[in-house]
Amino acid sequence: MFDDVVNDLEDQGLVEVSEGALVVWLEGTKARDGESRQPLLVRKSDGGYMYATTDLAALTQRLRPKSAEGEGAARLLYVTDAGQAGHFQQVFEVGRRAGLVPKEGAKLEHVAFGLVQGEDGKKFATRSGETAKLKDLLDEACKIAKQGMLDRAQEAEKGGIDEAAIEEAAKVVGIGAVK
């Protein structure tokens, strides 16, 4: 499937060779140096594929009609940390330019939820496979929020705690903290 995506990009004249790698130059964006155009790397010089290629292949499969052995999706949501926003903006741009995204009906959205950090305060690395599930993060945040509220309520009132109100507030605070 990756070869098909790259071949399709080449057939459309969207791909150029840059330092032995295959890239699609993004329109209207500058690289970090502020001078040169920004590339989206789709195949490394050693023939390896990038996350962008994987995402373009997945996008193709998900949006392709069921009659063409696709999934026929009308909307794709990518839920990742905010640090991936630029990556998905680039992938969506190339997908649209290449005609992988139907002009009408299909929506591509990146839903950023912030940065997930481990107990050591460092960003989770998904490549290591040691990330937590979002549900587990939300449950833990709610648990911590609830305990903090209970502690404060007991200090302030020395009892008389409305457990249901604290439970509801803990959900709001805990989930809000993760966002």
Arithmetic mean of pLDDT, 85-99:
92
pTM: 0.67
Q: Quote the Cα angle for 57-61-66, to 5°.
A: 165
**Neighbouring C-alpha atoms within 13 Å toward the C-beta of 60:** 20
Q: Which of 4-13, 22-31, 164-173 has the lowest mean pLDDT?
A: 164-173
For residue 98, give the amino acid letter: A
Confidence at 106, pLDDT banded by 50, 70, 90? confident
Under DSSP, the state recorded for 161 is -
Q: Edge to edge, what strands does the sheet with 15-18 contain?
A: 15-18, 21-30, 37-43
What is the pLDDT, as a whole number, of residue 20?
95
Residue recorded with tokens 């964006």: 29
